[in-house]
A = this chain, B = another copy of it.
């Protein structure tokens, strides 16, 4: 009983944090037009994931628009339907042992995920900002950012993601072509940091391309 109450408080807090993050990312232009979805693990066993509901305006995201689901995507708390991409979130939680998964749609991720789609990803290398990624200790790090073809067949996409993440076990994120970025972390703060770092580096690469034609 005490545990349940504690967990309820934790869910309220996480839902608040996810709502605040959503409003922040909306202001930056990373979650316009109801795009983007954000989740954080509440308990591991059994798995309980707090995740944003489908189709909500991230500029006015409220804690009441975050629901709680189990490992089968069944809603166990909250009255709204979870994001359709909840299956991707659950896959990343399972495969990467992530405590939080964040998905943004930015202009630069959209452009670069298309420009480098043929080679299946691209290297980001030599930037100090890379040191903000978990386990990275030096700017001399080489980060491979995989790109997957976009798909509306979510179970097929989930299998693709599983394959890619096994191939690149040290990846901190991946792009869906003409769609956006997925990244994660052991908790919400780390996942947020990863979004900011990867979006920053995508902007650096994207703007730099205007110089070399």
Contacts and interface: CB of A to CB of B under 8 A. Distances in A.
A75 interface: no
Contact of A178 (B127, B196, B203): B127
Interface in A170-213: 176, 178-180, 189, 192-194, 196-197, 199-200, 203-204, 206-213
A200 B107 contact: yes
Contacts of A164: none
Contacts of A139: 150, 152, 178-179
Interface in A10-32: 24, 28-29, 32
A108 B204 CA distance: 8
B24 A59 contact: yes
A108 B191 CA distance: 24
Nearest to A197: B33
Interface string A125-167: 0111100100001111000000000101000000000000000
Nearest to A198: B33
Contacts of A63: none
A105 interface: yes
Contacts of A209: 211
A35 interface: yes
Contacts of A34: 132, 193
A199 B136 CA distance: 27
A140 B153 CA distance: 12
* Top 3 closest pairs, chain A to chain B, by CB: A128-B179, A33-B196, A33-B197
Interface of A: 24, 28-29, 32-35, 57, 59, 105, 107-108, 110-111, 115, 126-129, 132, 137-140, 150, 152, 176, 178-180, 189, 192-194, 196-197, 199-200, 203-204, 206-213
13 contacts: A28-B29, A29-B200, A32-B129, A32-B197, A32-B199, A33-B129, A33-B196, A33-B197, A35-B132, A57-B192, A107-B207, A137-B152, A213-B213
